[in-house]
Amino acid sequence: MSQVRVAAFSISIDGFGAGPNQSLEHPLGIGGMTLHKWVLHTRTFRSMHQNGGDADRRDGEAIGPESIADIDDRFAARSFENLGAWILGRNMFGPVRGAWPDDTWKGWWGDTPPYHVPVFVLTHHARAPLAMNGGTTFHFVTGGIHEALERARAAANGRDVRIGGGVATVRQYLRAGVIDEMHLAIAPVLLGTGENLLVDIDLRALGFECVEHAASQDAMHVMLRRAS
């Protein structure tokens, strides 16, 4: 059955999913990259960049089959399973603000983004669909979160829809009560400021409970699921 999921979403101990002052130089805000240390060494991430040759090594040491690092890769790999479509906030697509000056910007990931399925980008400014290498097509949705979800579900054709972020986008879908499952990777860092994911959001009232958790060196992975 198709589900709406948040997966591999990194936050700090104090709840921030992005640092302050997001820009082209700091797409995740100041300090935001520290939240994602857990995923950078995984086989899944390296295969996305066609750099899997040293995927079995970290800090110069061999990684055993039952190592803590494999926990990170297990959750990273699961985040891509059974996906038929993504939804992104505009900041997740790029740093351009306001009306599109031209079609030059085509996303953070170059000519072959890692999505490989239709991606629906929330924006206030219309833009023609953008087809990329590898099966990704960006569709720009001006009608809000519910229109984006309706279109994503249709495009997913029975598979899951992943809400990719950023923080404001996940918060909107949480408040709308349409997210079925959420995997948070809580990094052992404090940001102090930025974009807080869960402030004023009552996950218990929304029906979520923790159904799985596992700790690695760089993250506490928490799987939350909403009761049906």
pTM: 0.89
**Is residue 138 in some structural domain?**
yes
Average pLDDT, consecutive stretches of 10 residues, N- to C-terminus, the chain (228 residues): 94 92 75 90 80 38 52 95 97 88 90 95 96 96 98 97 95 98 97 94 97 96 93
C-alpha 111: how far from its chain's center? Answer: 19
Whether 102 is covered by a domain: the verdict is: no
Question: Domain range for residue 119?
Answer: 4-97+112-226
Q: Tokens 């799987």, residue? A: 223
Distance CA(227)–CA(80), nearest Å, equals 22
What total of structural domains would you count in the chain? 1
Per the domain annotation, does 103 fall within a domain?
no
CA-to-CA distance for 72 and 43, rounded, in angstroms?
9
CATH at residue 79: 3.40.430.10
Cα–Cα distance measured from residue 117 to residue 140, given in angstroms and rounded to the nearest whole number: 14
